[in-house]
Structure 1
């Protein structure tokens, strides 16, 4: 019961807080106003090309490479079972000498983990894409509040469950969700009870917030979009992890570093 209260209860409570604190007030707009220049009708940081490359283009390398490595690992995990060293001894010796055999065995042993990361990334991306297309929220810089042509609208006022709501694609934060998808690695660490799994979780959350905040500074998102992205990605990763690993495995306590036993040596004096 505690597992579900913590892992579902906390993000749902955060969703209620974000909705009441941001979506029902003008805090988002007030925060974005701090980075908008009314004279030039621009967000100055949106005009800095290096900032765009560093925080938006290059930053994608981290989640992109993680997903690609997981996909490669998942595909390689099926190779070793197809190889029969007894039937093909030369191939077996070559793979052992080239160290490829150890890599193939590793991917085979961790097939479920590689597949989980691939599915978690895909499901998170699908959830965010669904929400974007079925709410049709335009980015701040595209609205009349900041020199754009489209009226500002909250996500809940235009939500359509069974059809696309329009051309807007700003809610929740897509770039932030890319950083948050690294939470999939946290659930892999939880499966193996790695004692640094919490650090991995906090690092993934921090990465998502950094990704999202940089887009807020450029006028391409409101701050609440980042929080919503984190909530939905966490829930998507959690449900995927439960399907792959089960609650019992994820609920096991992490392994703590074992202290080395202290050996007391008593010296005896010779009489």
Structure 2
């Protein structure tokens, strides 16, 4: 039963994303679908993507949209740092300080951060690792954005990421693949793994909300000519894999798979299954 749960977990969380990666590669990278879609958004008369020149659209979808992942990362970092304080506050040795913290409602906040220390630091590390992965791929593929290429009035050649990939050195100055703005929305997937660990009832809502947020972030940049649609899908795939591996390192598979283990236990076992890790 535990073997079945393990296989199911890795199929759902690792196998499906890898399958999606293969489909995106075949349907987008090996065809002209990306270019055909961007052609619909490009005005050949003005030689521009009209939405790229709408300042309000840029402000809302590119500038303000960063607030959500940025604030999430900052709150997680603050929570992680605060979680280190409470164990070091000796209420018996400093009763005055302890009483002050209780009266000002600071003590419950510090206790909460201490209880969820691993969660706060997981979010911090997941965001950092996701950002690092995306930046690595950008630098080592050197893909230029559509608006920068000769296809849409630019001066640089259009190339596919796989034809210019360099593992051990930067491939050039291009920084368009995968979608960085989309990845900012997708990093909110880290909260899904926290919710899954604690079996929160809104875990699936967080999952779908994070996926939609990343998709919306990426699509707005596609409309402006700064990305192809496949760049958004690739960003989601890499961010998911980065969050998954980070969550496995922080929590272990069993803690993330508790609901599945309980279901398997209910179907065919009378011995409680303990989630280790």
Give the TM-score category using the shorter length: over 0.9
Q: Which residue of 2 aligns with 1:182?
A: 188
Q: Which residue of 2 aligns with 1:226?
A: 232
- The count of corresponding residues between Structure 1 and Structure 2 is 256
Q: Which of 145, 153, 156 is 1:150 aligned to? A: 156
Matched, 1:73 2:73: no
Separation in 1, partners of 2:99, 2:253:
41
* Superposed displacement of residue 142, structure 1: 0.2
SS at match of 1:62: helix
Q: Which of 31, 55, 58 is 2:61 aligned to? A: 55
Map Cα deviations across residues 8-46 of structure 1 (whole Å, 9 max, x no partner). 010000000000000000000000011100001000000
Map Cα deviations across residues 177-219 of structure 1 (whole Å, 9 max, x no partner). 0000000000000000112111110000000000000000000
Q: Which residue of 2 aligns with 1:118?
A: 124
Map Cα deviations across residues 151-178 of structure 1 (whole Å, 9 max, x no partner). 0000000000000000000000000000
5+ unaligned residues in a row in structure 2: which ranges?
1-6, 264-277
* Superposed displacement of residue 104, structure 1: 0.4
Q: TM-score under structure 1 normalisation?
A: 0.93
Q: TM-score under structure 2 normalisation?
A: 0.91
When you count helix as a share of all residues, which structure comes out higher? 2
Separation in 2, partners of 1:116, 1:32:
37
Separation in 1, partners of 2:178, 2:8:
29
Q: Which residue of 2 aligns with 1:160?
A: 166
Which of the two has higher C-alpha Rg?
1
Q: Which of 77, 86, 89 is 1:83 aligned to? A: 89
SS at match of 2:258: coil
Separation in 1, partners of 2:190, 2:163:
31
Query: Which stretches of structure 1, 4 residues or longer, exceed 6 Å deviation after superposition?
Result: none
* Superposed displacement of residue 78, structure 1: 0.3
Q: Which residue of 1 aligns with 2:199?
A: 193
The Cα RMSD (Å) is 1.1
Matched, 1:17 2:17: no
* Superposed displacement of residue 65, structure 1: 0.2
